[in-house]
Amino acid sequence: MLSLTDVSVAYDGVVAVHDVSLEVPDGSILAVLGPSGCGKSTLLRAVAGLEPLTSGGISFDGRAVDRLPTHKRGFALMFQDGQLFAHMTVARNVGYALRLRRRPGIQRVHDLLSLVGLEGYADRLPATLSGGERQRVALARALAVEPRLLLLDEPLSALDAGLRERLAVDLRKILHAAGTTALMVTHDHDEAFQVADQLAVMRAGRVVQSGPIDAVWSAPADEETALFLGYARVLSGSAAATVLAAVGSGRESRVGPASSVSLALRRSALVADEHGRLSGTVESARATPEVLRLVVDVRDVGLVDAVAPRDSHWGPGEQVRLSVDPARVAPVGTNLD
Amino acid sequence: MRRWLTLALLAAGPVLVVAVFFVLPVGGMVARGFVSDGVLDPGGVLQVLARPRVARVAWFTVWSAAAATAISVLLGLPAAFVLHRLALPGRKMIRAALLVPFVLPTVVVGVAFRLLLGEAGPLGFLGLDGTPVAIVIGLVFFNLAVVIRAVGAAWESLDARPAEAAAALGASPVQVWWTVTLPALRPAIVSAASIVFLFCATAFGIVLTLGGVRYATVETEIYLLTTTLFDLQAAAALSVLQLVVVVALLGLAARLRAVPDATAARTSSRPRRIRSGDVPALAVTVLVLGLVAAPIVTLVLGSFRTEAGWSLGNYRALTGVGSNDALLVPVTEALLTSVRTAVDATWMALLMGLAVAVLVTRRSQSRSERRVRSLLDGFFMLPLGVSAVTLGFGFLITLDRPPVDLRDSALLVPIAQALVALPLVVRTLVPVLAGIDDRQRQAAASLGASPWRALLTVELPVVWKPLLAASGFAFAASLGEFGATSFLARDDNPTVPIVIFRLIGHPGELNFGMALAASVVLAGTTAVVMLAVERLRVPNVGAF
Amino acid sequence: MLRRLRTISIASVTVVVLSTGCSTMGDSGADATEPSPEAAAGSQDVGGKVVLVSHESFNLPKKLVAAFERESGIDLVTRSAGDAGTLTAKLSLTKGNPTGDLAFGVDNTFASRPLDEGVFATYEPTLPAGAAEFALEEGADKLTPIDVGHVCVNVDTEWFEQEGINPPETLADLVDPTYQDLFVTPGASTSSPGMAFFLSTVAEYGDDWPDYWTRLLDNGAKVVDGWEDAYFGDFTQGGGKGTRPIVVSYDSSPAFTVPKGSDKSSTAALLDTCFRQVEYAGVLEGAANPDGAEAVIDWLLSTEVQAALPTAMYVFPVSDEAEVPADWAKHAVQPSAPMTVSPADIAANREQWLTEWTDVVTR
């Protein structure tokens, strides 16, 4: 298990990571999610041993590692753009760590290449690979010696959307198959959800919320976190109360006194439904491949996003009734430790 | 067709200059050797090569140059790391100062080394005076800066992340160095080493002064054969041998230098703080600084010593002509001549160098085009590897008739110096130009930019700083050039190295002191120029 | 904006540098012959431009040159580079299409070859009193003696006084163990005085010179590249930190080592070890201005130039009429019977001697 205790890192007196404490249980994948410049990459580099700590401690399985140089930590780091060694073939890249440890590895290299779906690529040079292929090679290389911790720095963000989604699923599958403990940093919440089990949200050098991914997702700590997690709008005061009132009774109990709560809404939290409890005027409607996206001016709430079935027709100025999908709204600020 | 025309136009200028001022003279001199008594006699030349002395001389040249190159690289790498990668206070000053040896006249360095290593010198107990070790140390002294600059520049722009990735995969610092950093630096190291080897193998003055008569290199042997023994045949044989070796070496270097992808992403990484693990590299750097500083300090101290004790007398005397009229013109005037000559040599070298660099870095469309380009690349390196004596005499016997009767022209000196500086300029610019992604030019063209306009928008912003840096190099190389200049300069217009040589050749303590003071002034001028180059903060400069 | 300013300032500096004569371009034609008023007036016999080719030690007072130019209407241009060997090689290579009108500085060790190759045209001026003694046996009609110097072993008399040892006197003394590790000489193959010293050993020992040199080296003699190295680097009176009190130098050298306030030189030349070097001047075959060249040779023999030679070039005049400076008269003694080897012998054997010598020295 990786434990970070009050870790701080500063560059030239400017604090980049501030008192971060985190734990990554064996076999689980923790995603550190945050906007760029929030210090998440610095945190990852600190765990890898590439940045010295200003204060705090890092230990693995109870043993402090923050004094160990990078190569003695037994971790593996996979960079955003792979950082394959341009002068080595794919097979030599993958077998690199094996050669460092003088372990025979031809078979292992081939197994790894087939694990990442790149059989037959052994003799290619990195310059001839596509972005996705390079990331797969980088992953195989990182997994070669079964690191006790895999560090992933935005492993998928350099790839295009379709590829990213496929590779994210693969990545999760491969990591789980290998039983690898992993710490990944990303600014993309989709990527985090697709790969990780645990989530830590970081902002301005501090971890603002952490926990199992569902728990964080269903109860963002504050408005900014909610927006960062992909919620489209956060309502508060009477607007929140109005929407809350429209939610079925099952959710109500979790939310607490209606007056003090903020409510985060996903873009599909409100659904056009002739039996819905809310009503408003359509401001605009736009078709997407799956649904019709509406912006509706709801009475007592204001402008909100809503969806309607793909085959329905809505135009600006029309009156619409909306129901609330309880799974797509989350109370904000109730989960603060 | 148009491509070939552009290629030919760009190549025409530099090729013509090198043909007239290099190929023609050297060819003329060599031809003299091949013709004996009016008959072509290549057999006689071959016989020369069979002489045991030739083998001995060739062997000494090769091993001393190889040893000096190896030591320069071994000492230069850690120093390059420390001076280009670590946040060492004052590293820019140190980097500029390290270039001083590069321009010091060899005579002066010889005297300084002898003062240092001689029987009574502070290092006399080592017993190195007059040994091959002294020669090798001298060569290293001159060439360390080349390695440090060339490799340091590459190192500075090296992406740190592959090394971090390797460390994160469990590679120890030593393993990271061998498996990641060294392969990435290889082109720069090979490049620097091949230049240093050429400089060492054609070193003249330093071998003469430090090796005495006991050790002859191909270069000193050519001098001896031409001027004392009048054995032009043997001199020609050795010149040809030298050329062949140089061409072979350049070919080998080009092959070793080749990388799969020249348009490697170059970053400019922040120098990092010094850690305890850097102590060995720092120690080597201190050794390097000591090696470079010791002779220079000896020089500086000597320049302040006069008959009346410590004083500025030697410097004040620089406005005069020395005791017993040792000089025709005051040293200050010679300094002016030096600067003017260097300005001319610099623009000539830049103009040619830029054309050559653009020429050899444009992406080739066909195999034959690529071959022509790489041949041209090698062609312009040749002036580095040929005896200044052969070239100097060649000027006399080939450029003696109109339209090229230039034997008396004042332009001959800057032209010769520009030829010497040309390879430095080309090697500085080529990596930068090669690093420009062709797609940038295509993007400019697609937006409606003419080729010239594209050059201005894409190349110029990237290249202007390296260009200024290259001019610094050319300027410094020209300031210090002695071999060809001593042969071609007119005595009413001497440059500072010539004047220094003259002062040392005239007895009298004032003259000796003035020679040292003039050397210090020359070194100082160079250091200032190089510091100005440093201030331009060109990250990729000097990757020749 | 700032960046733009910087670009502009750099550009303007470049322009200024190039245009304000900080370049050789401005005066590349500066020495193109501008006929002096006298020459234009046609008041003289000769005139025009005369180019004198020489080695790098050639040096005469500016006043003398100016006076000569004024009187003769000649514009005298000197081109000097390299040592005597380089000069000779240059003359031979440019035979027939010379770079000048006359040459000065070919000495008796090099004279044979350019004479054989026909580099020089015939010109026999009237020699001043005493000069005939220095004329060549063969080729006196082409090469005119101008100055004479002797390469002699010099000793640091102060050092020997302090050590209480008698200084050596002859070449034979140099192999005496008393003088072990005390002698330094420039190499014969790399230095003209080194060659002269070598020739004095040839003159003294004939074909047995290799044996002498072997013993000399066994006795710790040091062989360095050039005279500068030997004198300034290794000689105890050379101003540097030399440790060797015996050095190969010139008969005139003691005149330069008179300490301030003293009237006695701290060094002395050993007059029994001297080799004579005579420097000649000659009109070049194919000269553009042979008349002017002859006038310059006459001038070089004039009493004023002859008298100026010691101070300007550290050599003695060939003319008896010229007075040497007072300190020379006092401290620089010329040997009465120097050693000589004939130019023809030197030319015939130079290569073999030097090869053998190198073998002995590098053994």
C36: confidence class by pLDDT, cuts 50, 70, 90: very low
- Sorted by sequence, the CB contacts under 8 Å of residue A323 that are 6+ apart come out as A246, A270, A271, A273, A275, A276, A277, A278
Max mean pLDDT range (A135-144, B202-211, B398-407, B490-499): A135-144
- C184: closest chain B residue by CA: B212
Binned at pLDDT 50, 70 and 90, residue A314 comes out as confident
- Both A13 and A74 in one domain: the answer is yes
CB A118 within 8 Å of CB A137: yes
Question: Within a domain: residue A293?
Answer: yes
B395 or B102: which carries more pLDDT confidence?
Answer: B395
Domain boundary (A197, A222, A247) is at A222
A75 in Cβ contact with A47 (< 8 Å):
yes
In single-letter form, the type of residue at position C314 comes to Y
Q: Are residues C137 and C222 in the same domain?
A: no
Residue with the larger pLDDT of the pair C351 and C297 = C297
> Do C239 and C290 share a domain, yes or no?
no
**From B160, which residue of chain A is nearest by alpha-carbon distance?**
A83
A125 part of a folded domain: yes
Identify whether residues C167 and C285 lie together within a single domain.
Answer: no
Q: Is the pLDDT of residue B368 over 70?
A: yes
Residues facing residue C267 across a β-bridge: C156
Residues β-bridged to residue A7: A20
Mean pLDDT of C38-64: 72
Q: Answer yes or no: is pLDDT of A148 > 50.
A: yes
Give the range of the structural domain holding residue C98, as residue numbers without chain letter: 41-149+278-327
Q: What string of DSSP letters covers A177-220?
A: HHT--EEEEES-HHHHHHH-SEEEEEETTEEEEEEEHHHHHHS-
Q: What is the mean pLDDT of residues A198-205?
A: 92
- B133 inside 8 A of chain C by CB: no
User: Picking from B100-104, B413-417, C274-278, which range would have the lowest pLDDT averaged per residue?
Assistant: B100-104
Burial class (CB in 10 A: 0-12, 13-18, 19+), A192: buried
From A222, A249, A272, give the residue that closes a domain.
Answer: A222
Could you give phi then psi for residue B508, rounded to 5 degrees? 120, 135
The last residue of a domain, from among A205, A222, A239 = A222
Q: What pLDDT, in 10s, does the model give residues A255-284?
A: 455 456 788 888 888 888 888 888 899 998
Q: Is A107 part of any domain?
A: yes
Helix residue spans in chain C (DSSP H): 2-19, 37-41, 62-72, 84-93, 112-117, 157-163, 192-205, 209-218, 227-228, 290-301, 303-313, 326-331, 343-362
- Most confidently modeled of B58-72, B368-382, B450-464? B58-72
Task: Flag whether pLDDT at C68 surpasses 70.
Answer: yes
The reported pLDDT for the residue numbered A336 is: 43
Q: Does residue B185 sit at the A interface (CB-CB below 8 Å)?
A: no
The verdict on a CB contact (< 8 Å) between A83 and B161 is: yes
Residue C288 and residue C304: Cα distance in Å, rounded? 27
Q: Is residue C322 domain-shared with residue C201, that is, in the same domain? A: no
Same domain, A26 and A154: yes
Are residue A51 and residue A189 in the same domain, yes or no?
yes
Q: What is the distance, to the nearest Å, from the Cα of residue B15 to the centroid of all Cα atoms in its chain? A: 21
pLDDT higher than 60, residue C13: no
Least confident of A174-188, A224-238, B122-136, C185-199: B122-136
Q: At residue B90, what are phi and psi to the nearest 5 degrees? A: 75, 20
Q: How confident is the model at residue C41 (pLDDT cuts 50, 70, 90)?
A: very low
- Whether residues C177 and C244 fall in one domain: yes
Interface probe, candidates B169, B257, B266, chain A, greatest A C-beta count within 10 A: B169
Q: At what angle do helices B132-156 and B182-201 cross, to 10 degrees?
A: 140
| Same domain, residue pair C172 and C144 | no
C-B interface (Cβ pairs under 8 Å ≥ 3): yes
pLDDT at A170 over 80: yes
- How many domains is chain A built from? 2
DSSP C284: B
- Amino acid (1-letter code) at residue B312: L
User: Is the model's pLDDT at B85 over the cut of 70?
Assistant: yes
Question: How many beta-carbon pairs below 8 A join chains A and B?
Answer: 78
Assess whether A190 and A108 both reside in one domain.
yes
In this predicted structure, the answer to whether residue A298 has a pLDDT above a threshold of 80 is: yes
Domains of chain C: total: 2
Examine the pLDDT at A253 and tell me if it is beyond 50. Answer: no
Q: For the sheet with A63-64, list strands across it.
A: A14-24, A2-11, A55-60, A63-64
Question: For C22-143, where are the E strands, in sequence order?
Answer: 48-54, 74-80, 102-107
In this predicted structure, the answer to whether residue C201 has a pLDDT above a threshold of 50 is yes
Q: What is the dihedral of CA A41, A47, A53, A58, to 10 degrees?
A: 140
Q: For residue A316, what is the domain's CATH number?
A: 2.40.50.140
Domain identity same for A11 and A108: yes
Instruction: Please check whether residues C248 and C358 belong to one and the same domain.
Output: yes
A244 plus A105 within the same structural domain? no
C3, part of any domain: no
B158-162, B363-367, C94-98: range with highest mean pLDDT: C94-98
For the domain that residue C251 is a member of, what is the CATH number?
A: 3.40.190.10
Q: Which residue of B has its CA nearest to C79?
A: B490
Whether C30 is in a domain gets the answer no
> Is A209 in the same domain as A286?
no
Q: Using 50, 70 and 90 to split pLDDT, how confident is the model at A217?
A: confident
Contact across the interface for C18 and B509, Cβ inside 8 Å: no
Chain B residue at shortest CA distance from A84: B162
- Residue C18 falls within a domain, yes or no? no
- Residue C296 covered by a domain: yes
- Chain C positions in Cβ-Cβ contact with residue B397 (cut-off 8 Å): 93-94
Mean of per-residue pLDDT scores for chain C: 83
pLDDT at residue number C219: 93
- Are C222 and C185 in contact by the 8 Å Cβ rule? The answer is yes
Low-confidence winner among B403-412, B508-517, C260-269 (lowest mean pLDDT): B403-412
Q: Is the pLDDT of residue B7 over 80?
A: no
- The one-letter code for the residue type at B82 is V
User: What is the average per-residue pLDDT within C33-53?
Assistant: 58
Give the nearest partner residue to A97 out of B159, B170, B180, using CB atoms: B170
Check whether C42 has a pLDDT greater than 80.
no
Q: Is the pLDDT of residue B323 over 80?
A: no
The answer to whether B126 touches B173, Cβ cutoff 8 Å, is no
* DSSP single-letter state for residue C244: B
Q: Could you tell me the pLDDT band of residue A237, with boundaries at 50, 70 and 90?
A: confident
- Cα–Cα distance, A122 to A93 (Å, whole number): 9
- Whether residue C158 is found in the same domain as residue C244: yes
- ∠ CA C138-C139-C144 to the nearest 5 degrees? 125
Q: What is the DSSP string of B412-454?
A: HHHHHHHHHHHHHHHHHHHHHHHTS-HHHHHHHHHTT--HHHH
| Percent of residues in chain B assigned helix, strand, coil, to nearest 5 | 75, 0, 25
Closest CA to A98 of B170, B167, B168, B161: B170
| Rounded average pLDDT over B488-513 | 75
CB contact under 8 A, C223 and B213: yes
Residue C240 within any structural domain of the chain: yes
A167 and A276 both lie in a single domain: no
φ, ψ (nearest 5 deg) of residue A235: -105, 150
pLDDT at C24 over 60: no
The mean pLDDT value for A132-156 works out to: 87
With CB atoms and an 8 Å threshold, state whether B215 touches C17.
Answer: no
pLDDT at A337: 40
pLDDT tens-digit series, residues C123-149: 999 999 989 989 988 888 999 999 999
Run of H or E residues at A29: strand A29-33
Tell me the Cα Rg of chain B: 24
In single-letter form, the type of residue at position A158 comes to: A
Given a cut of 90, whether residue B93 has pLDDT beyond it is no
pLDDT surpasses 50 at C43: no
Instruction: Note whether C81 contacts B491, CB cutoff 8 Å.
Output: yes
B259 vs A85: CB contact, 8 Å cut-off? no
| Within a domain: A337 | no
Q: What is the model's pLDDT at position B272? A: 76
Give B-chain residues touching C243 at CB under 8 angstroms: 118-120
Residues C158 and C256 reside in one and the same domain: yes
CA distance B326 to B303: 18
Same domain? For C226 and C250 the reply is: yes
The mean per-residue pLDDT over the stretch B133-148 comes to 88
Q: Output the six-digit token pair for C3.
A: 């960046």
Q: Are residues A111 and A160 in the same domain?
A: yes
Least confident of A137-146, B288-297, C24-33, C241-250: C24-33
Q: Is C186 within a domain? A: yes
Is the CB of residue C95 less than 8 Å from the CB of residue C118?
Answer: yes
The Cα A300–Cα A278 span in angstroms is 9
Q: Which residues of A touch B159 (CB under 8 A)?
A: 83
The Cα–Cα gap between B62 and B65 comes to 5
Q: Give yes or no: residues C155 and C139 share one domain.
A: no
Average pLDDT of chain A to the nearest whole number: 85
- Higher-confidence residue of C58 and C268: namely C268
Segment B269-289 mean pLDDT: 82
CB pair distance less than 8 Å for A100 and B169? yes
- Within this chain, do residues A173 and A156 fall inside the same structural domain, yes or no? yes
Evaluate whether residue C22 is within a structural domain.
Answer: no
Q: Which residue has the higher pLDDT, B257 or A157?
A: A157
- A4 versus A276: the higher-pLDDT residue is A4
Stretch B234-240: mean pLDDT: 87
Which structural domain, as residue segments, surrounds residue A264?
Answer: 228-332
Q: Is the confidence at residue A139, as pLDDT, over 60?
A: yes
Assess B161–A contact: CB distance below 8 Å, yes or no: yes
For B168, the closest of A77, A86, A127 (CB atoms) is A77
pLDDT digits (tens, 9 = 90+) for B450-498: 777 777 777 777 777 778 778 887 888 888 887 777 777 766 778 888 8
Please give the mean pLDDT across all residues of chain B.
79
Q: Which of C26, C59, C351 sits opposite B229 (nearest CB)?
A: C351
Please check the confidence at residue B150 and state whether its pLDDT lies above 50. yes
pLDDT surpassing 50 at residue A289: yes
pLDDT per residue as tens digits for the range B426-438: 877 877 777 777 6
A130 with A63, same domain: the answer is yes
The predicted pLDDT at position C23 comes to 57
Mean pLDDT computed over C66-82: 87
- Separation in Å, CA of C78 to nearest CA in chain B: 7
- Domains of chain B, CATH where assigned: 2-535 (1.10.3720.10)
The predicted model gives B507-535 an average pLDDT of 78
Checking if the pLDDT of A124 tops 60, the result is yes
- Same domain, residue pair A157 and A213: yes
What local confidence, expressed as pLDDT, does residue C5 receive? 43
Is the pLDDT at B71 greater than 90? The verdict is: yes
Pick from B168, B173, B260: which is nearest to A125 by CB? Answer: B260
B273: pLDDT strictly greater than 60: yes
Do C142 and C183 fall within a single domain?
no
Q: How far apart are CA B332 and CA B320, in angstroms?
A: 8
ipTM: 0.74
- B213 pLDDT exceeds 90? no
Closest CA to A226 of A189, A268, A270: A189
Higher pLDDT, B362 or B513: B513
pLDDT at C1: 42
Q: What are phi and psi of C144, to 5 degrees?
A: -105, 125
Would you state the pLDDT for residue B267?
58
Distance, in Å, from the CA atom of A325 to the CA atom of A294, rounded to the nearest integer, reads 15
CB–CB of C183/C221 below 8 Å?
yes
Average pLDDT over residues C5-13: 47
* Of A108-112, B356-360, C45-49, the least confident: C45-49
